[in-house]
Structure 1
Amino acid sequence: MPASGLPAPTHRDLDQVTQALETISPRWNAWILMTLTTPGRYMDLKARMPWLHDGQLQPKLRLLEAGGLVQRTEHTRRHVVYGLSDKGVRLLPVLDTLAEWGRHHLERPTTKDPVTKKETPRSAAKAEEIEDALALISPRHATAILWALRVRNASTAAALASSVMPDAHPTAVYHPLRHLTIKGLVGRDREGKFTLTAAGRALTPAYQALIAWTTGSPASYTASPTLRPVPTQTGPDPRMTAAALETTPVAPAWKPGDLFSHTSVARPLPAAAGVARR
C-alpha cells in the first residue's frame, strides 16, 4: 500500500484498518460471516443464502478461509463443516459496530406499498446495514480522508491531498471528496473547509473496533444467534427478502487516548448532516 503521508502512529493504524477493510468489504462477505455464526455444511449455507450460486459462494468461502476468517473442518470426505475461525469470531464486534452505525446514520431503504403505490421506509437486515456501511468507507482513499479530517477537524482540499495522496496530483483528491460529500459523510464549514458531518464523526467506534481487531486487542462478544428462515426470493433485490442473524453483542471498552476515542452520537440526528446515503 502506498504511503499515506500521515504521521505515525496514525499511518500505522490507517494501514491496518485499510487492509482489514479490503478483507471484509467485498459484497456478500458480511452475509457469509454473519451466517457462519451458526456452523454448517455447504448445503446448509446455500439454503440460508439462496441468492448465492456455487460460482459465487464457493470462491468467497475459499478467500475467507485463506484470510483466516473461516474455518473448514473435514470430518470425512462427505462431511465438511464451515464455521468462523477465532479471528472471525473476534471480528463480530466490528461487524456489530458497523451495523449499529448503519441503523442510526444510514438513510432508510424504501419499498413500494402495493396498495398506495408510495415508497415507504423498510427495515434493513443487519448484514445489509454492515455491507452498506462498508461500501461507504472502503473505496480507495475514503478512510484516509475521513481519518485526516477526524485528526484535523477541518481542512482544505490541498492540505488533504498533501497528506492523503502526496504522490498524486493535488486535484486527485476531489473525486473521493465528492463521493464522501454526496454520501453525507463530509461537508463544508463557513470558511469553505472540508469537515466531517455528524454521520462521519459517528464512525469513531467502527474505526476503534477495526484497530482493536487488527492489533489483536481483546474484545468481548456474547451472542445467542438465532437464524430465522430465509423466505424464497421474490424480488430483484435478494437483500429485501433475506432474514438477518440476530445477535446480542457486548461493545468493547476503549482505552483513553486511543485514536478516535471521543464519544460518538448515540442516536441518529434529525438534521440531514446526521444521515448518510446508501
Structure 2
Amino acid sequence: MATTALPPTVDADVARVTEALGMITPRWNVRVLLALRAQPLRYTELTDKLPWLRGGQLHPRLRALGDAGLVGRTEHSVHHVTYHLTGRGTTLLPVLPVIATWAEEFLEKPAGPVSTVQNVEDSLILLTRRHAAPILWVLKTREEASARYLADIVMPGGYWTNIYPPLRQLVDDGLVDTAGTGLPYRLTASGHGLGRVFGTLSAWAAGRSLTHASRHPVWGTPETNTRTEPGTWVSRQSRLPAPPLSPVLEAGTSRSPRPVPELFSHAAPARPAEVPVGGARR
C-alpha cells in the first residue's frame, strides 16, 4: 500500500530507505553493530565494549537489531550465548562511512573534536525526521516545489498545511531552503550532498551491491543514472541476502582518517555556544 503519491516503485524505494534508517538510528544501535564487527561476542563482552549501556539497556537493542535481521544470537549451551552480525548486518557496515563522509563535509563544525561514529549518529537524526525522506526525494526530482505540491505528494489525503512543520524542521536542519513565505522550497548544498547517502542506502535496502549507488535514478550521478532502466529500482525486504561485501568499516573518512578505537568513543563532544553559520545543523 502506497504511503505517498509518488509512483509505486519510487514510493517503495523511499519506504525501504526510511525503514533502513529506522533500524540503525535509535541511540547506540550503530555502536552495537560496530562492537560486533570483528567477531561474535558474549553479552558480558559486549557490555565491556559498551560500558555506558547499563541496567538492561543493551538487551532491547540486541532484540530490535535481531528483529531487523542485522544481529543473530547463537546458543552454544545454556550458559554460553553469543551475538554476531548477520550477513545483512555485515553488508550494512560499509554504508556507515558514506554517512560519515557526508557529515564531515556538510555538518556544522563544533568547537571540539567529533568522533566518526558521532558524525554518523548526528546525521541519522536529521535523516529520520518525520516525512524527511519523501520531501527530499521530491525536491531532488523537481529542483523546487511549493508547500502545497509537496503536501499533495508526501501526505496525500491529509490537510495540506500539515506539511509546514516538517518543512520548517528541514529548513532548520539546513537541508532545505526557501526564499520567503509562499515561495518554493529547494534543496541546499547539504541536501544535494545526500545523493550518495540515499543512493547507498537504497542499494543496500534492495540487496544490491553498493556500487549501484551512483546509478540510482534520483540520487545517482548524472553520467551514470541515465543508464538505469526506468521503473526497475525497487527496494525489497531488508532480510533478503545481499551481495557479499567487505565487513571492514573504515574508521575515518577520505577527508579526515581516524583510528579505529575512536569509533567507540562515547564522550559527548562539547557544543558551541552559538550555532555556526553554514552547514547542516547537528
Is 2:280 the counterpart of 1:276? yes
Q: Kindly report the root-mean-square deviation, in angstroms, between the aligned alpha carbons of the 2 structures.
A: 2.3
Q: Quote how far apart the aligned CAs of 1:86 are.
A: 0.2
Q: Give the stretch that moved more between structures: 191-200 or 252-261.
A: 252-261
Distance 1:163 1:272 in 2: 32
Structure 2 residue aligned with 1:10:
10
Structure 1 residue aligned with 2:143:
153
Q: Which amino acid aligns with 2:201?
A: L
Structure 2 residue aligned with 1:128:
118
Q: Which amino acid aligns with 1:171?
A: T
Change (3 A) 1:2 1:53: farther
Is 2:245 the counterpart of 1:258? no
Distance 1:100 1:129 in 2: 9
Distance 1:170 1:139 in 2: 18
Q: Which amino acid aligns with 1:182?
A: D
Contact 2:140 2:218 in 1 (8 A): no
Secondary structure of the corresponding residue to residue 101 of structure 1: helix
> Normalization by structure 2: what TM-score?
0.75
Distance 1:35 1:12 in 2: 31
Structure 2 residue aligned with 1:89:
90
> Normalization by structure 1: what TM-score?
0.76
Q: Quote how far apart the aligned CAs of 1:215 are.
A: 0.8
Identity %: 39
Structure 2 residue aligned with 1:200:
191
Contact 1:99 1:130 in 2 (8 A): yes
Structure 2 residue aligned with 1:37:
37
Q: Quote how far apart the aligned CAs of 1:73 are.
A: 2.0
**Structure 2, unaligned stretches of length 5 or more?**
223-253, 256-275
Q: Quote how far apart the aligned CAs of 1:101 are.
A: 1.1
Contact 2:2 2:8 in 1 (8 A): no
Q: Which amino acid aligns with 1:262?
A: T
Structure 2 residue aligned with 1:179:
169
**Structure 1, unaligned stretches of length 5 or more?**
110-120, 220-251
Distance 1:62 1:48 in 2: 18
* 1:74-104 residue CA offsets vs partner (Å, 9 max, x unmatched): 2222222212110001111222211111121
Structure 2 residue aligned with 1:57:
58
Is 2:159 the counterpart of 1:169? yes
Equivalent pairs counted in the alignment come to 230
Tell which has more relative contact order, 1 or 2 (C-alpha 8 A, sep 6+): 2
Secondary structure of the corresponding residue to residue 140 of structure 1: coil
Q: Quote how far apart the aligned CAs of 1:5 are.
A: 0.7
